[in-house]
Amino acid sequence: MNGHPDAAEPQDSLDPRLQWRAARTADLDGWAALIARTAAVEQPVWFERRADLAQVLDSKKNPAEANTILGFDPAGVARAYGRITKNPDGDKAIGYGCVDPQWQGTGIGTGLLGWMEDRTRQRFALDAVPGSTPKLRLHMEQQHTHQASLFEDAGYRIVRYYNEMHRPLGDGFPETVLDEGLEIVGFGPELHEPVRLAHNEAFRDHWGSEPRDEEGWGLVVNDPLARPDLSAVAVEQSTGRVAGYQLASHDEVSAVSRGYKEGYTDLLGVRREFRGRGVAQALLADAMRRFAAAGMDKASLDVDSENPTGALALYAKMGYVAVNTSMAWDKEL
């Protein structure tokens, strides 16, 4: 393995028509262009861009040398890519990737899955978490039926559904009441760590969620699309303790392709002891006002269809409507 115990190497499953190696900084433009070509055909809600891939290359927890693979044609054009991420004590790895539309249907995707699975087994062996079984999770949008066929043929099964929900901003805003003693403030750097801790508490009972360490949280607050000006935090006035938070983003590129501007709530959470006090409703209403003031047409978010906190019903009450479905697929290796 190139003399490095944690380095990825091409597997026999990978198509020999392409030259395979880990991603490097010099590949960023070609790598991003591959994803953009694929997205132009498949029209996903979101796709990785150059700035996102630069963050991938900077990861200490999931070094690119070991956890990415790019396939180049004889002319040196990137035609396929795969990568996995995993927390050292996590119960799953998560896979990402794509194949150039001109090269789809030739077995390259199956080979990439094989590489991801092999790398997942290696990561679980290196992490040596007692009692853990290697597991790879993949995500896809419902309309991408070619991916569903690939996943089914490779032995994956759907384990969760997610709903993308939209709320028009031209219809006014819901009236909400935040309990006395709580207030909503802007989200700034001084709240990055307090909100991280609040997030880990709020999501510890959510399916599939794992605690965010400093590197993982950095990917959230430093995301190229993050909009702290559209985000907010509910705090307890007497203690300054974070009660809840709404972290938002805006994608100018997708606004062009989708034909409307949306403020997207990436994360919404409320600590247990503050639930039932109108925190989530107040944060969502605040988000709508911020989005509208910034010129957005819609507020949007994604929700686990089986969310244990009743979030789906809350969003529907706030005027959000489901417009798209995505799925999580798992395979125990």
- Please check whether residues 259 and 206 belong to one and the same domain: yes
| pLDDT value for 164 | 96
Q: Is residue 51 one of the residues assigned to a domain?
A: yes
Lowest mean pLDDT among 1-5, 57-61, 178-182: 1-5
Q: How many domains does the chain have?
A: 2
| pLDDT value for 245 | 98
| pLDDT value for 1 | 34
pLDDT band at residue 104 under the 50/70/90 scheme: very high
Whether the pLDDT of residue 3 is over 90: the answer is no
- Please check whether residues 148 and 176 belong to one and the same domain: no
pLDDT band at residue 217 under the 50/70/90 scheme: very high
- Please check whether residues 168 and 243 belong to one and the same domain: yes
- For the chain, give the mean pLDDT: 94
Which CATH number is 176's domain given? 3.40.630.30
Q: Is residue 49 one of the residues assigned to a domain?
A: yes
22 Cβ contact list (under 8 Å, min separation 6):
7, 8, 64, 65, 66, 68, 69, 70
In the chain, the percentage of residues whose pLDDT exceeds 90 is: 89
Whether the pLDDT of residue 122 is over 60: the answer is yes
Whether the pLDDT of residue 5 is over 50: the answer is no
- Please check whether residues 252 and 287 belong to one and the same domain: yes
pLDDT band at residue 4 under the 50/70/90 scheme: very low
- Please check whether residues 131 and 195 belong to one and the same domain: no
Arithmetic mean of pLDDT, 62-82? 98
Arithmetic mean of pLDDT, 66-93? 97
The residue segments making up the domain with residue 32 are: 19-155
| pLDDT value for 130 | 87
- Please check whether residues 92 and 150 belong to one and the same domain: yes
Lowest mean pLDDT among 5-19, 175-189, 233-247, 249-263: 5-19
Which residue is associated with the tokens 């994803």? Answer: 35
- Please check whether residues 74 and 216 belong to one and the same domain: no
List, as one string, the DSSP characters of 110-168.
Answer: HHHHHHHHHHHHHHHHHH--TT---EEEEEEETT-HHHHHHHHHTT-EEEEEEEEEEEE
- Please check whether residues 199 and 294 belong to one and the same domain: yes
Lowest mean pLDDT among 28-42, 207-221, 298-312: 298-312
- Please check whether residues 48 and 144 belong to one and the same domain: yes
Domain termination site, one of 104, 128, 155: 155
Q: Is residue 95 one of the residues assigned to a domain?
A: yes
Q: What is the pTM of this model?
A: 0.92
Q: Is residue 6 one of the residues assigned to a domain?
A: no
- Please check whether residues 266 and 183 belong to one and the same domain: yes
| pLDDT value for 11 | 66
Q: Is residue 9 one of the residues assigned to a domain?
A: no
Which stretches of the chain are assigned E, i.e. beta strand? 19-21, 68-72, 78-85, 93-99, 135-141, 157-168, 182-186, 232-236, 242-249, 262-270, 298-304, 321-332
Q: Is residue 11 one of the residues assigned to a domain?
A: no
Q: Is residue 3 one of the residues assigned to a domain?
A: no
Rounded Cα distance, 291 and 261, in Å: 9
Q: Is residue 116 one of the residues assigned to a domain?
A: yes
Buried b (16+ CB within 10 A) or exposed e, 78-105: bbbbbbbbbbeebbbbbbbbbbbeebbe
| pLDDT value for 171 | 84
Rounded Cα distance, 25 and 258, in Å: 30
- Please check whether residues 314 and 173 belong to one and the same domain: yes
- Please check whether residues 40 and 62 belong to one and the same domain: yes
In the chain, the percentage of residues whose pLDDT exceeds 70 is: 96
| pLDDT value for 27 | 98
The strands making up 157-168's β-sheet, listed across from edge to edge, are 19-21, 68-72, 78-85, 93-99, 135-141, 321-332, 157-168, 298-304, 262-270, 242-249, 232-236, 182-186
CA angle 139, 142, 147 (to 5 degrees): 60
